[in-house]
Chains A and B, each alone.
Chain A
Amino acid sequence: NAGVTQTPKFRVLKTGQSMTLLCAQDMNHEYMYWYRQDPGMGLRLIHYSVGEGTTAKGEVPDGYNVSRLKKQNFLLGLESAAPSQTSVYFCASSYRRGHNEQFFGPGTRLTVL
């Protein structure tokens, strides 16, 4: 099993450009999450999904959109990138909400110039 995979691994954007980050998991998990990691801030939740076709906002959702058309995939979109979105983005999945451990992808390092 590949676990949780993310593409791309690195990306550089100019302000105003758009892009989509793809997360895929092969563990048949219902729940998927997108986090961003910034120095000294830990990980903060952007959006999450509790199942195919459902998404919800997390702690820092502004400037991002998500879609979960298939159970195994969770897409994170930036419609008009800003320098404040320079970060490392992690996708995670879990079998259940709450107390269940989450499995993380390797991350996408995004720089917005």
Chain B
Amino acid sequence: AQSVTQLDSHVSVSEGTPVLLRCNYSSSYSPSLFWYVQHPNKGLQLLLKYTSAATLVKGINGFEAEFKKSETSFHLTKPSAHMSDAAEYFCVVSGGSQGNLIFGKGTKLSVKP
């Protein structure tokens, strides 16, 4: 069965410093993995996705994630945080029994000026 664990419920960084949001997954086969972002009172927007091509995936707004099969991880990074990055981020794995996406519980990113 597929599952995903986001290791931090809340991450706080200063503007201009690097961002690291950690995600581990469990899957019985090669999964597709996604990061979605949700700004306050908004819907979910796809940041990036991994679908068994390049292990380093680049997304929108300067974010990227690296798929590491040996570590079953898919951590999200950004070199320099911006105030507009403050949001909740969800790591997601595909392949639920009903074809749905399996969501992590989310990591809330705060960015201090």
Most buried by B among A43, A56, A102: A43
Q: Does B113 count as interface, using CB distance less than 8 angstroms?
A: no
Contacts of A74 in B (CB 8 A): none
Partner-binding segment picked from B63-71, B78-86, B91-99:
B91-99
Give the size category of A's interface with B. Answer: 20 to 34
Chain B contact residue count (CB 8 A cutoff): 24
Contacts of A44 in B (CB 8 A): 103
A45, A58, A99: which contacts B95 (Cβ < 8 A)?
Answer: A99
**Which residue of chain A has the shortest Cβ distance to B52 in the bound complex?**
A99
Q: Does A53 count as interface, using CB distance less than 8 angstroms?
A: no
**Count of A-B contacts with CB under 8 A?**
54
Contacts of A98 in B (CB 8 A): 32, 94-95, 99
Contacts of B104 in A (CB 8 A): 42
Q: How far is the CB of B20 from chain A (nearest CB, A)?
A: 20
Most buried by B among A31, A56, A104: A104
- With known contacts A40-B105, A42-B106, A90–B44 Cβ distance under 8 A: yes
Q: Does A101 count as interface, using CB distance less than 8 angstroms?
A: yes
What is the CA–CA distance of A98 and B31 in the complex, to the nearest angstrom? 9
Q: Does B74 count as interface, using CB distance less than 8 angstroms?
A: no
Q: Does B13 count as interface, using CB distance less than 8 angstroms?
A: no
Chain B residues within 8 Å of A, Cβ to Cβ: 9, 31-32, 34, 36, 42-46, 49, 51, 90, 94-96, 98-101, 103-106
Chain A residues within 8 Å of B, Cβ to Cβ: 31, 33, 40-45, 48, 50, 56, 58, 90, 97-107
